[in-house]
Amino acid sequence: MHSNFGVFDIVGPIIIGPSSSHTAGACRLANAARAIFNRPVTDAVIHVYGSFAATLCGHGTDKALVGGLLGLLPDDEQLTHALNTAKQNGLSYQFVLEEETVSDANLVKFDMRSTDGASMSVSGASIGGGNIVVKRINNTDLEISLQYNTMIVDHLDKPGAVLSVAKILADKRINIASMNIYRQGKHGRAYMIIETDQTIEPEIVEIIRHFEDMHVIYIPQLY
């Protein structure tokens, strides 16, 4: 939780009830997963753990998770109808209540597919007050808050990869607030997570997208 509270963090935020962690946070996690997958989700297996599993319907967590995958935001009253909307919009979903004990009170894993056959797995935790952390993409453990503008660069772990991205950002006068690298192993796939205060223009993302062995997703500050 940040320590520089504004008026509307306290008298607010305006959200769909009943729980900032189980409803708003769940919805944000699904939005995060959808944004990272960067494709329309047509098929999702949603694994819920801990308190998410225990109270699933009682906090509308099921609706919030499915609604978030459809791109509905935590203050959208349509969340209440998300399960029906999913059927109409061709999103088929299935919940798996996991009994495994995990360290996060509220954890969810989305196994997502889209019509083009692409698939991705994204896990994250709701950590209170509607705040979230993305904790895993496919087989890589990482940590992304999405409270900044975030660029996720899926790249091959090799010398110069980080420099080439950092150089483009420096040339375009983008100030990096934080940068972390998470890799599966030496010379394997790795993720660069770059957080910036400024927004990154699509043309900059496009330049990096054309680098050899790099896939890039840019997610504007989620909340």
Partner 1 sequence: MLKYQYKSQIDIEEITKQEALSISALAVRHEAERQEVDESVVVQQMKTTLEVMKTNIKAGIASTKPSIGGLIGQNAAKMYAYADKGNALGGDVLCRATAYALAVTEENARMKRIVACPTAGACGVVPGCLGAVQEQRHLSDEVVIGALFNASAIGIVIANNATISGAEGGCQAEIGAASAMAASALTELAGGDVSACLNAAAIALKNVLGLVCDPVAGLVEVPCSKRNVMGVANAIAAADMALAGITSVIPLDEVVKAMKEVGRALPFSLKETARGGVAASNTAREIHKQIKQNVADTYDL
- Which residues contact partner 1 (rule: CB under 8 A)? 1, 3-21, 23-24, 51, 54-60, 62-63, 75, 77, 79-80, 95, 97, 105, 128-130
Nearer to partner 1, 52 or 218 (CB): 52
Ramachandran area for residue 129 (φ above 0: left; ψ -120 to 50: alpha; else beta): left
CB of 66 to partner 1, least distance (A): 12
CB of 198 to partner 1, least distance (A): 15
Nearer to partner 1, 75 or 201 (CB): 75
Which helix (H) or strand (E) segment is 110 a member of?
A: strand 106-113
Nearer to partner 1, 55 or 85 (CB): 55
Given a contact cutoff of 8 angstroms between Cβ atoms, the answer to whether 130 and 28 are in contact is yes
CB of 121 to partner 1, least distance (A): 20
> Do you find a cis peptide bond into 40, omega within 30 degrees of 0?
no
> Nearest-CA neighbor of 42 among 115, 123, 108?
115
Which helix (H) or strand (E) segment is 12 a member of?
A: none
Nearer to partner 1, 2 or 158 (CB): 2
Give the Cβ contact number of residue 129 at 10 Å.
Answer: 14
CB of 50 to partner 1, least distance (A): 10
